[in-house]
Amino acid sequence: MEPKVMIILGSASDFKIAEKATAILEKLEIYYDLRVASAHRTHEKVKKIVTSAAKNGVQVFIGIAGLSAHLPGIIAGITHKPVIGVPVDVKVAGLDALFASVQMPLGAPVATVGVDRGENAAILAAQIIGIHDAGVREKLASFRRDFYSKIAEDEEKLFLQMN
């Protein structure tokens, strides 16, 4: 099956953050593809990946990068599909990557999620896909219900621990 989400990493060292996203996408049974391609060093490759993916059914892009995190912004300049940015904390508490992802000029937004928060990028992608995909919507709802249960269980454990 064709991937619906294309994850691009600015560097292989960002893989630990990408895994947070792929773990969620797998639970939600959303097909994805994952590539490594630096915005500054291999722009042609980024463009080829994005253009080809957009043609082949990818609905949402996720760009994961640290430092001067240009990658999600570059993707946003190539495609009209929504682009999610995950800032990675490498230096200055990740503020450099957060600003680089979120402070995009008029015309090329990046839907930025929290520093190092790959999971939320996956959930946001699922929310977008879920608008027209009842299956994904249900899996997402179920994933969140499980989450609420887990919170309830955590509370139970804390009570037991305290009493």
Site for a second copy in 34-73 (CB under 8 A): 34-43, 47, 59-60, 66-68, 70, 73
Options 5, 30, 50, 74; binder of a second copy; rule CB under 8 A: 74
Backbone angles phi, psi at 111, to 5 degrees: -75, 95
Q: Which is nearer to a second copy, 6 or 111 (CB)?
A: 111
Residue 93, classed as helix, strand or coil, is helix
Binding residues with a second copy: total (CB under 8 A):
83
Q: Which is nearer to a second copy, 53 or 130 (CB)?
A: 130
Site for a second copy in 22-41 (CB under 8 A): 22, 34-41
DSSP letter, residue 132: S
Options 16, 55, 77, 160; binder of a second copy; rule CB under 8 A: 77
- In angstroms, the CA 80 to CA 147 distance is 33
Site for a second copy in 105-124 (CB under 8 A): 105-117, 119-121, 123-124
Q: Is 156 left (phi over 0), alpha (psi -120 to 50) or beta?
A: alpha
Residue 40 CB, nearest distance to a second copy (Å)? 4
Cα of 4 vs its chain's centroid, Å: 12
Q: Which is nearer to a second copy, 34 or 53 (CB)?
A: 34
Is 84 a residue that touches a second copy (CB under 8 A)? yes
- Show Cβ contacts of residue 43 under 8 Å, excluding neighbours closer than 6 positions: 74
Please, are residues 84 and 60 in contact by the beta-carbon 8 Å criterion? yes
Q: Which is nearer to a second copy, 30 or 100 (CB)?
A: 100
- Show Cβ contacts of residue 22 under 8 Å, excluding neighbours closer than 6 positions: 7, 32, 34, 122
Residue 84 CB, nearest distance to a second copy (Å)? 7
